[in-house]
Amino acid sequence: MKAVVITQPGGPEVLQIQERETPRPAGSEVLIKVYAAGVNRPDVFQRKGNYPPPPGAPQDIPGLEVAGIIEEIGADVTGWKRGDRVCALLAGGGYVEYALAQAAHCLPVPEGWGFSEAASLPETVFTVWHNVFQRARLQAGEHFLVHGGSSGIGITAIQLAKAFGAKVFATAGSDEKCDACNALGADISINYKTSDFEEILKSEGVDVILDMVGGDYIPKNLRLLREEGRLVFINTMKGSKVRGADEVDFSLIMRKRLTVTGSTLRNRDHAFKAALTADILKNVWPVLEKGLFKPVIAQTFPLEEAAKAHTLMETSDHIGKIILLNQWK
Ligand SMILES: NC(=O)c1ccc[n+]([C@@H]2O[C@H](COP(=O)([O-])OP(=O)(O)OC[C@H]3O[C@@H](n4cnc5c(N)ncnc54)[C@H](OP(=O)(O)O)[C@@H]3O)[C@@H](O)[C@H]2O)c1
């Protein structure tokens, strides 16, 4: 089969098509004929050599999510059969013609959805559901803020928070991106390049913040949170340390009884991801099937143009998800 391989750490050009042996599924695995694979920011970090895959995952093929048709099942698999249309969360190895997935990490392609749309779901839905709803326990009527509102994670967080009854705020890096966040249901979107999100939101207050930015956002986030507020980190793209004039006042955590938490999805074990899959099937899939959540595809590329897809992601000009299509299927 053909695979997009990280030939060495570096820029998008290190992504090259190579021939690899088509894998066979072991006991609890399924082999998926890939129609579409999602591109996520962690794939870019992996390509640069800054985000090593966990043991057991393909070491030189990026790709955390795919959608396609089950080609073969392992001996212990129940609940799925050859020919089923699925999307799946992977620990790596999605930029290929045939991908291995744990059967328990697969979900049905939602009714009426195509493979590109379905491939846009797993990584962001799993990340948002775990961090915003399981860890931070966002409730209907609460105020929710997501930074990077137009990212793949952001468009998912806005729509799920809205569907579950929160008042939603987002930050993004242009007016066009803010308009896109509003169109998805955000109540207030703030262009952080022209406005101070803390100034705008301080009269509102926030119960839950999903942050991928870190750096100088950290003291602002802590000040914005209401009593019993929750701050969840999924990355710190502007740095994990607070530098500059603004200081972090940890007494806010005591005085407002805040919770500061965070997680990374990829390195969690099979059992954790299987339980998360089941929770998402029960709670999120009905939202998708009711039409309360729309996929947002910024652009698609054939697998052989994975380098162009990474270049687009690194410009941060995209709104929503970038998807690779298997042109050899
Ligand atoms: N912890 C986990 O389990 C987990 C799982 C998946 C993803 N993530 C993280 O979630 C984030 C979003 O992932 P994604 O795949 O949705 O990425 P994405 O679509 O590429 O979005 C990232 C967005 O972040 C903003 N951005 C980029 N560089 C920035 C910087 N230095 N400072 C501030 N903002 C910056 C850009 O929007 P603006 O133009 O608005 O700045 C960009 O659109 C990434 O940081 C990724 O590593 C974490």
Strands 167-172 and 188-191: parallel
- The verdict on the CB of residue 30 being under 6 Å from ligand 1 is no
pLDDT of residue 236: 96
Nearest atom, ligand 1, residue 320 CA: 19
Residue 141 Cα to ligand 1 midpoint, Å, equals: 26
Residue nearest to atom 36 of ligand 1 (CA): 316
Q: Which two tokens stand for residue 302?
A: 């054939």
- The verdict on the CB of residue 135 being under 6 Å from ligand 1 is no
Average pLDDT score over the chain: 97
The C-alpha atoms of residue 215 and residue 240 are separated, in whole angstroms, by 6
- The verdict on the CB of residue 264 being under 6 Å from ligand 1 is yes
pLDDT of residue 244: 80
Fold type of domain 125-262: Rossmann fold (3.40.50)
User: Is the per-residue pLDDT at 119 higher than 90?
Assistant: yes
List the domain boundaries for the chain.
2-121+266-325, 125-262
* CATH of range 2-121+266-325; options 3.40.50.2000, 3.90.180.10, 3.40.140.10, 3.55.50.30: 3.90.180.10
> What integer is the mean pLDDT of 223-240?
97
Residue-wise pLDDT for 19-66, tens only, equals: 999 999 999 999 999 999 999 999 999 999 999 999 999 999 999 999
User: Is the per-residue pLDDT at 188 higher than 80?
Assistant: yes
Output the CA–CA distances (angstroms, integers) from residue 18 to 6, 47, 262, 287, in the order listed: 10, 16, 36, 39
User: Is the per-residue pLDDT at 247 higher than 90?
Assistant: no
- Pocket perturbation via mutation, ligand 1, pick of 192, 193, 210, 212 by most ligand atoms within 8 A of CB: 212
Residue 253 Cα to ligand 1 midpoint, Å, equals: 26
- The verdict on the CB of residue 38 being under 6 Å from ligand 1 is no
> What integer is the mean pLDDT of 258-280?
97
pLDDT of residue 243: 84
User: Is the per-residue pLDDT at 329 higher than 90?
Assistant: no
Residue 283 Cα to ligand 1 midpoint, Å, equals: 25
The C-alpha atoms of residue 119 and residue 328 are separated, in whole angstroms, by 17
Per-residue pLDDT band at 274 (split at 50, 70, 90): very high
Residue 27 Cα to ligand 1 midpoint, Å, equals: 35
Backbone dihedral angles phi then psi of residue 133, each to the nearest 5 degrees: -100, -35
Residue-wise pLDDT for 137-164, tens only, equals: 999 999 999 999 999 999 999 999 999 9
- The verdict on the CB of residue 12 being under 6 Å from ligand 1 is no
Output the CA–CA distances (angstroms, integers) from residue 53 to 15, 41, 261, 263, in the order listed: 16, 14, 23, 16
Q: Which two tokens stand for residue 191?
A: 């262009």
DSSP-derived secondary structure letter, 96: B
Helix (H, G, I), strand (E, B) or coil at 2: strand
Output the CA–CA distances (angstroms, integers) from residue 144 to 94, 166, 215, 235, in the order listed: 32, 6, 20, 17
pLDDT of residue 131: 98
Residue nearest to atom 37 of ligand 1 (CA): 148
CA Rg value for the chain = 20
